[in-house]
Amino acid sequence: MYILLTARLTVSPSSSQVFEGDFLSLSCEEDDSSAGWTLRRNTSKQQRTQCGDGWGKPAGSSCNISYIDPLDSGVYWCESREGPISNMVNLTVTGGSVILQSPVLPVMEGDDVTLLCKTKTTPSNLPAAFYKDGSLIRKQPTGHMTIQHVSRSDEGLYKCDISGHGESPSSWITVTALLADLVLRVFFYLVVFTPYFISTLLVVSLYQHRAKGNDELISKVTATPNQAGQRSAKDLDDIVAVTTEHHF
C-alpha cells in the first residue's frame, strides 16, 4: 500500500537494528508542518500507541527514546490528523552482543549498500560472515560488506555472525525499482494537482456559460426593435397597395 506521503520517518542512528540501552531519535521530516504529524508504533504488546503514551519523549516532530528496550521492537510510522501516513520502519532491539547495521529505508535500485556487522563492546572491524535468506554470502575480514549496484534480486533477509561473539538478528532489505519510484512520483503529482486542474476547468466553463447567456440575451433585445420596424414597413406597403387599388 502506498498512500500519498508528505512526511518521511528517519531514524538516528540510521540502523534497523539497535542494542538494548541505546539512545534513539525518530523524526517525521515533513513537507507540510501544518499537517500535525504524530509518531506511532505497533509492538508485540501494544498497537497504534503514539510517542509520549508510555514510551518516548516528544520533541517537536521528533521522538527521543533515551533507553531503548527489546520490547520497543516493532513497526514505527508518522501519521497526520488527515489520515495519510509516512513510510514504515521496522526496528529490532536486541539484548545480544551483535547487530547488523543495514538501511532503515528502502534502497533504490542501482545504488551501493554497505552492511556493517558490529558488537556492542569491541571494535567494529572484527571479521564477520554475512548471510542472505539463511545462505552464506561471503566472509569479510573487516566486518563490512558492500553490495554494489543493488537490484531486485538483492532484496531479502540479511544477518551476520562474528566468531566468538554471536549472531545478529535478521533484517529485511527492500530494493525499490526505478520505474516503481517514477510511477509513485507521477501518482503523487496527479493526486496533488488534479483537484486544482478540475477546479480551474469548472470556473472557466461557468464563466463561458454565463458569457454565452448574456450574448443571447443581448441578441434578443437587439432583434426586437428590428422586427418591429420590419412589421411597420410591411403594414405601410399593404396600406399603399389597398389605397391605390381603390383609387382606380
Residue 246 has pLDDT above 50, yes or no: no
Exposed e or buried b per residue across 79-88, where buried means at least 16 C-beta atoms within 10 angstroms of its C-beta: bbeeeebbbe
Q: What is the pLDDT of residues 151-174, one digit of tens each?
A: 999 999 999 999 999 999 999 999
In angstroms, the Cα distances linking 183 to 92, 149, 187, 242 are 31, 21, 6, 84
Whole-angstrom Cα distance, residue 110 to residue 58?
36
8-state DSSP, 106: P
pTM above 0.75, yes or no: no
Q: Tell me what pLDDT residue 37 has.
A: 84
Amino acid at 168: S
Do strands 17-19 and 89-94 pair parallel, antiparallel, or not at all (unpaired)?
Answer: parallel
Q: Which three cell numbers stand for residue 2?
A: 502506498
Q: What is the pLDDT of residues 124-146, one digit of tens each?
A: 789 999 999 999 999 999 999 99
Residue 240 has pLDDT above 70, yes or no: no
